[in-house]
Amino acid sequence: MNEIFLLKLGEVVLKGTNKRQFENRLRQNIRRRMKAYGNFDVYIMQSTVYVEPMDEEADVDSAWEACKSIFGLVSLCRCRPCEKDLDSIFNAVEEYLGEDLDCAASFKVESKRSDKSFPLNSIQISQEIGGRIAEAHPDCLVDVHHPAYTVYVEVRDFAAYVHGPAEPGAGGLPTGVGGRAMCLLSGGIDSPVAAYMMAKRGVEIECVHFFSYPYTSQLAKDKVMELARLVTKYSGRMTVNIVNFTPIQEAIRDHCAEEFFTLIMRRFMMEISQEIARHDGCGALITGENLGQVASQTMEAMAVTGAVVQMPIFMPLVGMDKEEIVTIARKIGTMDTSILPYEDCCTVFTPKHPKTKPTIGQLLNAEQKLDRKALIAQALETVEKVSVKFDDDPFC
């Protein structure tokens, strides 16, 4: 029998009467991700997802790597299915795990019997298979407390399965069960991590990026698109909305006090993002804001920039320190792209002495000479929608 994957569910098992809804979405996500690697059957039984290649052409190794980044799974193992009898189980152990046992100094067997019609209980299965392994591999000692290698035997409804130690899954909830949200994606470190964090909570991600040509270059735009592509390894395919932000920034420069430049700019970003989000069925905005990190991210500044929208604003990084954010960026593979030296629109017309404790009244007064509705309408007419998926060629 062919090698298959057993993928163990995480939080999904706690969802009570809603569990089936979560399982169905997870199965859909896995099936969609497997399509790129061949013909796989995906089904769920007893809080475990079975991923089975259906022919020899299936790219099993690439599919395995893809499974590691699918939210909703707490652990994964590649295993060998076999008939549900001791001889078949031991033969599968020898064929599938024999080389690992030859290299190990000690071992133990852990068994799980979910098929209660099987005549031996879990302890008896471990004893029987462990005894045979000890005879076949005399240099590999039995150590039930601190083994160098553990053999796992699972006797389930359809078959028995043998495998080595499992690998950790991506955790979280299946993408899509938490609704849909619009992430303001810049070219920095924080916003891709924020998108990843919310995708991990089951949120389907769409992005908006504000592009300020000629003040920012095509390389800066490509950098942001590459960050979006890297995030889709976890979030699944997404749409990136690219907005021409140059006229708004020039209007702010020409008509507003310098100390308010960044705050007014961010208020426009939030309002434009909300309009695109509403049109595309998103129920919230996501930002990479981090309390106290820069002048525009003080409590007072965040209050005035968020005041122009009515939908919820998710800030998953708000209480993290920079090192924690960088660690996640490295883990998900966005860090090297984020630090490429291409400026985004947030660095254009940066004030020398930004206002750190603004009030709503001050911002409304500073914006008096701007025709907000006309500028926003003009920006919305420029929106370019780009579909991105992880299998695309890199943008930079």
34-68 tens-digit pLDDT = 999 999 999 998 889 999 999 888 999 999 999 99
Asked if residue 42 and residue 165 are part of one domain, the reply reads: yes
- Quick one: pLDDT at residue 363? 92
List the beta bridge partners of residue 77.
6
Question: In this structure, is residue 224 part of a structural domain?
Answer: yes
What phi and psi values does residue 39 have, to the nearest 5 degrees? -95, 110
Name every residue whose Cβ is closer than 8 Å to that of residue 143 and which is 6 or more positions away in sequence.
Answer: 106, 107, 108
CATH number of the domain to which 71 belongs: 3.30.2130.30
Asked if residue 330 and residue 207 are part of one domain, the reply reads: yes
170 pLDDT above the threshold of 90: yes
The residue from 140, 170, 200 where one domain ends is 170
CATH number of the domain to which 372 belongs: 3.40.50.620
144 pLDDT above the threshold of 60: yes
1 pLDDT above the threshold of 60: no
Asked if residue 188 and residue 137 are part of one domain, the reply reads: no
Encoded tokens for 285: 């905005």
Asked if residue 324 and residue 267 are part of one domain, the reply reads: yes
Question: In this structure, is residue 152 part of a structural domain?
Answer: yes
Question: In this structure, is residue 175 part of a structural domain?
Answer: no
As a whole number, mean pLDDT of residues 360-371 equals 93
337 pLDDT above the threshold of 80: yes
Asked if residue 260 and residue 166 are part of one domain, the reply reads: no
226 pLDDT above the threshold of 90: yes
- Quick one: pLDDT at residue 355? 83
Asked if residue 198 and residue 149 are part of one domain, the reply reads: no
pLDDT band at 356 (very low <50, low <70, confident <90, very high): confident
Question: In this structure, is residue 394 part of a structural domain?
Answer: no
pLDDT band at 2 (very low <50, low <70, confident <90, very high): confident
Asked if residue 232 and residue 150 are part of one domain, the reply reads: no
Asked if residue 221 and residue 90 are part of one domain, the reply reads: no
Within 10 A of 51 (CB to CB), how many other CB atoms are there? 25
pLDDT in tens, 177-194: 999 999 999 989 999 999
- Quick one: pLDDT at residue 187? 86
CA–CA separation, 279 and 127 (whole Å):
61
The residue from 136, 152, 170 where one domain ends is 170
- How many structural domains comprise the chain? 2
Question: In this structure, is residue 259 part of a structural domain?
Answer: yes
- Quick one: pLDDT at residue 172? 94
CA–CA separation, 296 and 241 (whole Å):
23
pLDDT in tens, 263-274: 999 999 999 999
The residue from 117, 148, 170 where one domain ends is 170
pLDDT band at 19 (very low <50, low <70, confident <90, very high): confident
Strands in 384-388's sheet, in edge-to-edge order, are: 313-314, 284-286, 180-184, 204-211, 238-244, 384-388
Percent of the chain with pLDDT over 90: 79
- Quick one: pLDDT at residue 392? 86
For the full predicted model, state whether its pTM sits above 0.85. Answer: yes
Asked if residue 230 and residue 155 are part of one domain, the reply reads: no
Question: In this structure, is residue 273 part of a structural domain?
Answer: yes
- Quick one: pLDDT at residue 346? 66
Give the residue numbers spanning the domain of 192: 180-388
Asked if residue 196 and residue 76 are part of one domain, the reply reads: no
pLDDT in tens, 274-324: 999 999 999 999 999 998 888 778 899 999 999 999 999 999 999 999 999
Question: In this structure, is residue 165 part of a structural domain?
Answer: yes
pLDDT in tens, 76-102: 999 999 999 999 999 999 999 999 999
